[in-house]
Chain A
C-alpha cells in the first residue's frame, strides 16, 4: 500500500516568509509525528498527534512553528517568519497509534521528507 507522502519535496523561501509543509499519513494510522533533521544530525522530535489533537508538542522550538491535523488524517506544519536557521529536512511519520499500551507494536513509518531552504 501507499506509504507516508510529503509535499513539496523541496521548498525554497526567503527569510521572513510563511511556509506550509504537508503530510499524508498511511491510511488508517491515527498517530502522526513531525521531526526536523538538520544537516549531519539525527531527526529531532517536534510534535505528535493522536487523532486531531496534539498529544505532545514539546519539541516545537518556538511560537513561529505550528501544526494542525483538523480531520485526523492530513497534517500541515506551518512556519511563520522563517529564519535561515529553519533550513532543514522536515520529516513526517505515522503509526497505528495504539499509544503506550500498544507501544511494542506501534512502529513509526517515515515519509521521504521536505527539504526547506530559507535564503
Chain B
C-alpha cells in the first residue's frame, strides 16, 4: 500500500531564512507527487506537482521540490521564507493507475520567527 511520511511535525524558521520540508513515500513504482498548503480558514491549495520529466519542479509562491527516485523523496524548498508562508504543508502521492485517489501525509506545520 502507498504511504507518505512527513517526519517533521512542526518546524520554525526565521523570516528570510531558507526552508526545506521533508517527504518520503513508499510505493512500488514512481507515483504522482504533490505538495499542498493549508492556511487557517483556507482550503487546501496545490503548490506544485510532479508527473514526469524534469525532477526539479517549480511551483507557486516561490516554492520548488525535487524528486529523488533513489531516496523515494520529494522534499519541498524555498530559498527565503516570508511571514505569510506560515501554514500547514502536506505532501501527497497518487498511484499512476488510480490518479484520482490522493494519499496525503500527516503534514508539517511551519511557523515563521520574525
Contacts and interface: CB of A to CB of B under 8 A. Distances in A.
Given A3-B43, A108-B46, A56 B101 contact: yes
A90 interface: no
Given A58-B101, A112-B43, 8 more contacts: A4-B43, A33-B100, A42-B105, A44-B104, A56-B98, A56-B101, A109-B46, A112-B41
Interface residues of B, number: 27
Contacts of A42: 4, 90, 92, 104-107
Interface of B: 4, 32, 36, 41-46, 49, 51-52, 90, 92, 94, 96-107
A59 B98 CA distance: 13
Contact of A56 (B4, B92, B100, B106): B100
A72 B49 CA distance: 27
Contacts of B43: 3-4, 91, 109-113
Nearest to B104: A42
Contacts of A59: 101
Contact of A41 (B41, B98, B107): B107
A115 B51 CA distance: 32
A44 B99 CA distance: 15
